[in-house]
């Protein structure tokens, strides 16, 4: 059988491109797994909203003479 040289070149480019895309996606997958494992080992300080809420409730109670209650608070930026 005699194959068209242009078709052979196109199939070669197609296979080369698919291998390249697969390799890049695999590299991104592996690097993200490594990054996630490193970050999960780090000790990150957690924000305690309970302490903030208690401080706000205490201040509202102090300002209102014990009659006011905190219903809802929203963090502004």
pLDDT in tens, 19-76: 999 999 999 999 999 999 999 898 777 766 678 888 888 888 888 888 888 888 787 8
Name the 3-class secondary structure at 5: helix
| Model-wide pTM > 0.95 | no
Please say if the pLDDT value at position 6 is more than 70.
yes
For residues 35 and 59, membership in a common domain is answered with no
For residues 4 and 27, membership in a common domain is answered with yes
Tell me what pLDDT residue 24 has.
98
Q: How many domains does the chain have?
A: 2
Tell me which residue range forms the domain holding 71. Answer: 46-77
pLDDT band at 77 (very low <50, low <70, confident <90, very high): low
Q: What is the DSSP string of 47-59?
A: P-HHHHHHHHHHH
For residues 38 and 3, membership in a common domain is answered with yes
Tell me what pLDDT residue 13 has.
96
- Length of the chain counted residue by residue: 77
For residues 2 and 37, membership in a common domain is answered with yes
């Amino acid at each position: 059988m005699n194959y068209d040289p242009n078709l052979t070149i196109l199939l070669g480019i197609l296979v080369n491109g698919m291998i390249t895309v697969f390799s890049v996606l695999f590299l991104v997958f592996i690097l993200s797994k490594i990054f996630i494992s490193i970050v999960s080992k780090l000790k990150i300080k957690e924000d305690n909203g309970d302490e903030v809420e208690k401080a706000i409730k205490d201040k509202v109670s102090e300002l209102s003479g014990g009659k006011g209650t905190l219903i809802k608070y929203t963090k502004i930026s």
